Amino acid sequence: MCRNIRVLHNFDPPTTDDEVREAAVQFVRKVSGSTRPSRANAEAFERAVDEIALATRRLLDDLVTKAPPKNREREAIKGRARHEKRMEREVRTRTAAT
């Protein structure tokens, strides 16, 4: 999974439409292979973002869980810790290879 796309389900406060749209933009960027579409492709790019955001919102609204809502701050701290661990492994791997 693209590391820039984050879990959006089961948060308190609930995921905002802006967060859903940002995830849709990241998905379309990844799939299209372009961070900024050309003028010729801008309309298709935006339409795809809108459709994916709508489908994502519907999905989030329809999902059911018995798990308690996640805390955004705690999830961000865990994400930073995972990132740091990944970076440490990469440094060790590069150092061992030289």
Q: Are residues 27 and 75 in the same domain?
A: no
Q: How far apart are the C-alpha atoms of 87 and 77, rounded to whole Å? A: 15
- Could you tell me which residues come within 8 angstroms of residue 6 by beta carbon, excluding any fewer than 6 positions away? 23, 79
75-87 b/e (C-beta count within 10 Å ≥ 16 → b): eeeeeeeeeeeee
Q: Are residues 59 and 39 in the same domain?
A: yes
For residue 19, give both structure tokens. 């967060």
Q: Are residues 62 and 78 in the same domain?
A: no
61: containing domain: 1-67
Q: How far apart are the C-alpha atoms of 55 and 61, rounded to whole Å? A: 10
Q: Are residues 48 and 96 in the same domain?
A: no
Q: What is the mean predicted confidence (pLDDT) over 51-64?
A: 98
More confident residue, 47 or 4: 47
Q: Are residues 79 and 43 in the same domain?
A: no
Of 27-41, 58-72, 83-97, the range with the lowest mean pLDDT is 83-97
Which pLDDT score is estimated for 4? Answer: 66
Q: Are residues 76 and 32 in the same domain?
A: no
The residue among 52, 57, 8, 7 whose CA lies nearest residue 29 is 52
Tally of domains within the chain: 2
